[in-house]
Amino acid sequence: GPLVNTAGDIVGINTRAMFFGGDMGFAIPATTIRFIVAQLRKFKKVNWSWTGLQLQPLKDFRKNIYFEGNEGVIVAETDPESPARRAGIRVRDRILRVNGRPITAMWEEDLPAVRKTLGLLEKDKPARIELRRNGKTLTVELTPREKGKVEGEELDCPRWDMTVKAINQFDNEDLYFYRKKGIFVFGVKYPGNAINAKLQIEDIILRIGDKEVETLEDVKHRGVSMIVYPDKGDLLKASRYIVEIEKGRITAFAKIKRNIDGVEDLIHRANLEKKLLGKTPPECTLVDNLGEPLRTLRSRERSQTVRIYDIRHWSDFMGARYCVLRFDDNERCRDVTLFGVSATTKKDPARRQEGSTQ
C-alpha cells in the first residue's frame, strides 16, 4: 500500500518490511512510481534506451578510488558491441554533458539519476556526448538503441538427450565473440546420445547434416525435437546426423545416434497406440496377440492400474522387451510405453514388487 508522511501526502509505495533488527521498511519513491506508470501506459513496458555505458562516481568510497574534477561522471567500462564502444568512448573518460545538459555523479547515490538521463535518450537518434580525456575536451556522437533480449531461448531435444540455446550478446559473451548469431549446447543428459557423441556444454553447433543452423527454428526443421511421428523415410533420415560443432576456433564433428529402442520402434509404437488406447484389458490382450500381463500394479492415489506385458515375441520391436499399459479408473487404456532393460541399472520393470506405480 501507499507510504504517507505526517502531512498525509503519499511519498511512496511500500514493497517489503522486516520486523526484526529495528523494524525496517522498504518503499519505491512516489517520483519513481509516477515515471514508471507513465512509461507503462504509453509503451506497455519501461522503454529504456541502451548505451552500454558502465559508470563510476568521482568519489568512489566503495572501491576507494577518487578522480579529479568536480563535475561529470567516469566511464568504468563499455559493453562489447555497444553504442558507447562504437562511438569511441573509452574507459576513464569523464562525461561532462549529454546533448548540452550537464551531468554529475559525485557520489554513488548520484548514479541512478545519471543512468535515467541516458536511458531516456531517444532510440536510434544520435546524441552529443561531451567528455574529458587526457586533459582535452572532446565531443562524440552516441546513438542509443533497443537492448533487446538479455537471454536466448532454449529448445529441448529429447531424441538427442540434450537442450540447445540461442547465443545472446549479454548472456553468453564468450560464445558471442566467436559467433554473433547461432546456437550452442546448453545441457546434456547422462547417459544419452549427445554425450555419447562427445558433445559438451557450450559447444557451438554450426551444421546439422548438410544444413547450416543459426536459429532454434533451423534445429526444429532438422527434426531434432520430434513430438509427432512422421513417415518412415523422414524418421530414418532424422535419426542419425553428423553435427559440426565449434570448440573455440577448432571445428569438430559428432555423430548423433538413435535411441536404444531404435527408429523402427517409434513407427511401430505409433501404430500400436492407435490400436490400444481406449480399450479395456481383455480387448488389449487380443491386439497383435499381446497376451496376458506379466504383472499388474495398482495405485490408489492416482486411481490407475499398470499392466506389464512381455513383447519379446514381437519381431518388429528390436530394442523393447516390455509393453507397459496404464489404465484409468474406468479400465480404459490411457498410455502406452515400451521398455528395454536399463543400461545403467540393469533392472527389469517386470521384476518390480507390487505396490504403487511411478
Q: Which domains does the chain have, with CATH numbers?
A: 1-47 (2.40.10.10), 48-148 (2.30.42.10), 154-256 (2.30.42.10), 263-351 (3.30.1450)
345 three-class SS: coil
Distance CA 290, CA 285 (A): 5
Cis peptide before 349 (omega within 30 of 0): no
Q: Which residues contact 119 (CB under 8 A, 6 or more apart)?
A: 48, 49, 51
- Mean pLDDT score, 232-258: 46
Predicted local distance difference test score (pLDDT) of residue 84: 94
Question: Are 127 and 98 within 8 A, CB to CB?
Answer: yes
Mean per-residue pLDDT, 13-42:
84
Whole-number Å distance between alpha carbons of 155 and 75: 38
Q: Is the pLDDT of residue 127 over 60?
A: yes
pLDDT digits (tens, 9 = 90+) for 267-307: 566 677 788 888 999 998 888 888 888 888 887 666 788 89
Give every CB contact of residue 190 below 8 A, 6+ residues apart in sequence: none
Q: For the segment 75-117, what is each residue's pLDDT rounded down to a tens digit?
A: 999 998 899 999 999 999 999 999 999 999 999 999 999 999 9
Contact 122, 49 (CB under 8 A): yes
Q: Which own/partner contact pairs does 17-23 have at CB distance under 8 Å and 24+ positions apart? A: none
The answer to whether 188 and 161 have CB atoms below 8 angstroms apart is: yes
Residue 36, C-alpha cell as written in the block: 514508471
Alpha helix ranges (H) inside the chain: 30-43, 83-86, 111-119, 173-178, 193-196, 216-221, 232-239, 263-276, 281-285
Q: How confident is the model at residue 226 (pLDDT cuts 50, 70, 90)?
A: very low
Cell of 119: 536511458
Query: CA–CA separation, 144 vs 47, rounded Å?
Result: 12
3-class SS at 344?
Answer: coil
Write out the H or E segment, with its range, that includes residue 241: strand 241-247
The Cα–Cα gap between 270 and 43 comes to 48
Alpha-carbon separation of residue 279 from 226, 276, 318, 320 (angstroms): 26, 6, 25, 22
* Cα-trace Rg, the chain: 31
- Rounded CA gap, 305 and 302, in Å? 9
Rounded CA-CA distance 226/157 in Å is: 8
Check: CB of residue 223 under 8 Å from CB of residue 231.
no
What is the rounded average pLDDT for all residues in the chain?
79
CB 223 within 8 A of CB 230: yes
As given in the structure block, the three cell numbers for residue 95 are: 562525461
Among 102, 158, 108, smallest CA distance to 128 is for 102
Whole-number Å distance between alpha carbons of 326 and 314:
20
249 burial type by CB count under 10 A (0-12 exposed, 13-18 middle, 19+ buried): exposed
pLDDT of residue 231: 36
State yes or no: pLDDT of 169 exceeds 50.
yes
